[in-house]
Chain A
Amino acid sequence: MADRITRAEVEHVAKLARLALSDDELAALTGELGAILDYAAEVSALDTHDVTPTAHPLPLVNVFRPDVARAGVPRDEVLAAAPAAEDDKFRVPRILGEAP
């Protein structure tokens, strides 16, 4: 079986998914993901050229909410759960890049 997914691809995906995987994890995952993808790729055997994808199992459309304001959750309760907070805001380590 050819490599369905390479180690380099796995590293790239780990970056996209923000997972700091160890070398052992990366090695194991390359094999596991490859095997799973081999199995999952069976879906390509089916002819779907005239088939629309099902994104929603329900035939619902136009579900709205009236534009009415109401109070939110008290700040203290939310900030109490924060791993780090300062000046009533959530504190994070330095951000390296600008927002896309």
Chain B
Amino acid sequence: MTNAKRTDVLLIVGAVAVLVSGWVHFYLYFRGGYRGIAPEAIGGLTISRSFAMNAIAAVVIAEGLVLATRFRALVLPAAAGGALFGVATIGAYLLSRTSGLLGFEESATTSKAIIALVAEAVAVLALTPVAVGAVIGWRSSPSTVTASASTSASG
């Protein structure tokens, strides 16, 4: 498998994983009872709204990841965004299990939480090497990457 194909596979795996995490948050928002909970708000952000934002962000990032298979200039921002999404979502969950997040504490482990955690871990594992590889490639020859990106975009 060539590097380009390997990158494409990792981008697609990452996109699916991010979408799965987003779906769990979407489901919990509309069907899990999380739509109306707001024990605390910081700058208008509540635990309820953070679930909605997670679902929307997942779709945007997944779109970027899929498009990155065609437009190479998107590889770094999309892969980095996907990896950060995974890390941030796992971090938010761990906060809710320990010190609390936006006044919300969770002490039970549900099947949805496990699905989301696995998906987020897959996203981080798939997309971090892609993002790191893109950074290394850009630092070693930024003009090549730019040229490659524009060639890909025009093709």
Whether A associates with B in a native complex is: no
Interface residues of A (CB under 8 A from B): none
Interface residues of B (CB under 8 A from A): none
